[in-house]
Structure 1
Amino acid sequence: MAEPLPTEDGVKENKLWKGVFAVSGILITLVIYGVLQEKIMRVPYGVNKEYFKYSLFLVFCNRITTSAVSAGSLVASKKALDPVAPVYKYCLVSVTNILTTTCQYEALKYVSFPVQTLAKCAKMIPVMIWGTFIMQKKYKGFDYLVAFLVTLGCSIFILFPAGTDFSPYGKGRENTVWGISLMVGYLGFDGFTSTFQDKLFKGYDMEIHNQIFYTTLCSCVLSLTGLIFQGHLLLAVDFVYRHNDCFLDIVLLSTVATASQFFISYTIRTFGALTFAAIMTTRQVPSSLSFHFLLMLYF
């Protein structure tokens, strides 16, 4: 006997629970991720008050952990490890994702957390621009109005509680041209990454772990190559070896980054890049609150 087709109310309820799962997963993991990222990059370690300066090493640790977990998930579920799209397309996502993350980490050296969080409120706008070029989507004036109002609302909230900033690289460097350029790069690369991921999911009916595995595998190779050419690999390993608490922070950061990557890919595959950008915009509110919690905890 054939199973009854789901009713319209049932479909809506199912989508609602998927939305709750996606939003709560992104908010929880990325708020924790933001706090840990701030702590690693801006809180000194050891009696000599040394700062961790190797942002690309964090990218490498995050990606190699995520790649290993996604590969294990594919094997455990007996799904093929073969790529379903041309490898260069995975690599394109990987390159822009590394540039996004690197710009974000580097910007912490030059721009205060409240300013960076404020800039992130504009996530929806670059996604709509890239969606027009990559996905040939047509947005109505109302869509742009909603994006503007969401950006404005989050910006106002962030501006009011913005308080004391701390930076190991000197207060006089906040809002420099380089810092603002890094944030513009972050927004541009981030918008392209999520939009192109959306295109891959829709164009190839791609499994979540398949995309995560190949993009993070490419990221591992690229970030490791960058570390070697910069001469930072051994320096970063030595720093972590000398500071066990930093090692534990990086392990926890990589674990949370892996979880957040799953929720991000799940959201983009299920709801699209623009919905993901809207979630990421509104999550700047709890991120701002977590920043003030970090201030009270360490200072």
Structure 2
Amino acid sequence: MDEDIKHSGMHHHKVKSLLNSQTMKLFICFLGIFVAYLLFGIVQESIVKGTYGQHDKFTYILSLVFFQCIFNAIVSKVILILRKTHQDATPSIMYAFSSFTYLFAMLASNFALEFVSYPMQVLGKSVKPVPVMLLGVLVARKRYPLTKYFYVLLIVLGVVLFMYKKPKESKVVNTGDLIGIGEFLLFVSLVFDGLTGGIQDKIRDKHKVQAYHMMFSMNIWSCLWASIGILITGEIYSLYSFLKLYPNVILNIFLLGLTGAIGQNFIFLTIEWFGPLTCSIFTTTRKFFTILCSILIFGNPITKQQMFGTALVFLGLFLEQLYGKKKHK
């Protein structure tokens, strides 16, 4: 009898320490993604929004993605060499397809900015966990309890309510269509985000892949796709001329690569430990927490709608953390 009690106590302690270590991992991943991409956003804005010379602008987005991917591939390869990990058995075709859908989603959302406002783009991308979840079910045959859908919808609804601002009356543009090019591109971007998550889930479940193997292979393939793009468009030649004129941009590109690599490190660790759905919840709520921090730090006014949205996000995250521990297969 005493042995049983002792055994049950040990088992309880093991489960508790495992949950605590999982919670700690979850917190470290979120904090890493939050801080790295906050700095990444600042550097990216200084590159893209800055004016060079009289009126020159940096418009080489594909090249920027290409450099980021090279940087990420180098960092992940160095970590793999240092850790002396086992070989990755994942078929290359899965990484090739996954990196293509990832790049296409990124480019579609960037290109959508030509047709929709930045808040609209952020709003559109804030529903990302929904397609990631749905395509995870379709592509990777994931099974989630109904409560999981409810928590994710609570978080997404909260973020949407928090981000949504009524467009100014003076700036109403009547396109005559129900859905414009920008909205269509955002929809395409979300579908490809979902496909990326679905394939990553399949890789994770089937091949038990480690974070840095996935990070390296995804970025190597992304380099290949991006290099085809910059060669076809001829962007690489105009970028070379631009960098000769304004060499100080090179330091910013290096800083962007560094902050992006740190962020990706935590993204792929999140995918390895918790899956693409948790990762998409992190990247979605990251923008929400960035705005919330600026409201708290700079004392900006917060609307009742934003308060309600905030409450929904925290409720969703709290319930997910409390009851989402029950393993979904």
TM-score (norm 2): 0.77
Pair 1:95 & 2:100 matched = yes
Query: How many residues were matched structurally?
Result: 281
User: 1:34/1:286 Cα in 2 relative to 1: closer, same or farther (>3 Å)?
Assistant: farther
State the partner residue of 1:273: 276
Contact 1:31 1:290 in 2 (8 A): no
Whole-Å separation in 1 of the counterparts to 2:52 and 2:84: 45
User: 1:289/1:10 Cα in 2 relative to 1: closer, same or farther (>3 Å)?
Assistant: closer
Pair 1:46 & 2:52 matched = yes
Letter in 2 for 1:95: F
Gaps of at least 5 residues in structure 1 are 164-170, 294-299
Letter in 2 for 1:185: V
Gaps of at least 5 residues in structure 2 are 1-9, 298-329
State the partner residue of 1:72: 78
1:275-295 CA-to-partner distances (Å, cap 9, x unmatched) read 2222222112134468999xx
Contact 1:66 1:213 in 2 (8 A): yes
2:224 to 218, 221, 224: 221
Following TM superposition, by how much is the alpha carbon of 1:140 offset from its aligned partner in structure 2, in angstroms? 4.3
TM-score (norm 1): 0.84
Contact 1:198 1:269 in 2 (8 A): no
User: 1:287/1:184 Cα in 2 relative to 1: closer, same or farther (>3 Å)?
Assistant: farther
Whole-Å separation in 2 of the counterparts to 1:74 and 1:287: 32
Whole-Å separation in 1 of the counterparts to 2:167 and 2:266: 29
User: 1:269/1:83 Cα in 2 relative to 1: closer, same or farther (>3 Å)?
Assistant: closer
Whole-Å separation in 2 of the counterparts to 1:123 and 1:272: 14
State the partner residue of 1:30: 37
- 1:1-299 aligned at under 5 Å gives the runs 7-41=14-48, 43-80=49-86, 82-160=87-165, 177-288=180-291
Bigger Rg, which one: 2
User: 1:287/1:244 Cα in 2 relative to 1: closer, same or farther (>3 Å)?
Assistant: farther
Whole-Å separation in 2 of the counterparts to 1:58 and 1:95: 16
Contact 1:110 1:176 in 2 (8 A): no
Whole-Å separation in 1 of the counterparts to 2:68 and 2:76: 12
Whole-Å separation in 1 of the counterparts to 2:242 and 2:75: 26
Letter in 2 for 1:20: F
Whole-Å separation in 1 of the counterparts to 2:287 and 2:191: 17
Letter in 1 for 2:71: T
Following TM superposition, by how much is the alpha carbon of 1:198 offset from its aligned partner in structure 2, in angstroms? 2.4
Whole-Å separation in 1 of the counterparts to 2:280 and 2:77: 27
Contact 2:88 2:209 in 1 (8 A): no
Whole-Å separation in 2 of the counterparts to 1:241 and 1:9: 58
Contact 1:36 1:253 in 2 (8 A): yes
